[in-house]
Amino acid sequence: MQLSDKLGIIEAILFACGEPISSERLAQSAQVEEQELVKLINVLNDNYNEHSSAVEVIRLDDSFQLVTKKEFAPYIKAALETKKNVALSQAAMEALTIIAYNQPVTRSFIDDVRGVDSGGVVTNLIEKELIEEAGRLDIPGKPILFRTTDNFLRCFGLSSINDLAPLPKDEEQISFDDVKG
């Protein structure tokens, strides 16, 4: 199979899927090895950049997705007449941070860390497709577990959850005693 054929097949699959597709499934569908797939994705992106294309292939954990470049977002939004994205509230950012760094977690865990009921915030994050259900905890009551989504990674410009900034170590954090002084 020619290089151009392989690139065309991968591009067609990514375009048709719309959503992220695992590298394993993409490689299998395109009939290429996974190691070769990464090289082919890089060639596709080089071609897109060389021709000032409005699209690119991004990596999300172990998946790939064909997306439009960020600089075209305002024009796409205008064309689709979508509502202006409302910034996340402080409460939503707190809950999202708790979930991202501790996932999968239950809502009661989020409530305990925040010190307030987080039901509405969790529902809002689900509606924005930033978090999703990740099964149930095997304890009485079987509470729902939540984790971040590929949309979370995309919105925050991350390739993987491992790209999150590290949490400060205990000795780097300020204590209440330091603030009183």
Domains of the chain: 3-72 (1.10.10.10), 90-172 (1.10.10.10)
More confident residue, 173 or 160: 160
| The predicted structure's pLDDT at residue 76 | 85
pLDDT at 179 over 80: no
The candidate with the shortest Cα–Cα distance to 55, out of 24, 22, 3, 10, is 10
pLDDT at 82 over 60: no
pLDDT at 83 over 70: no
pLDDT at 70 over 80: yes
Mean pLDDT of the chain, nearest integer:
89
Summarize pLDDT for 85-95 with one digit per residue, the tens.
567 889 999 99
- Please state the pTM of the whole predicted model: 0.59
Of 79-83, 129-133, 144-148, 152-156, which range is least confident?
79-83
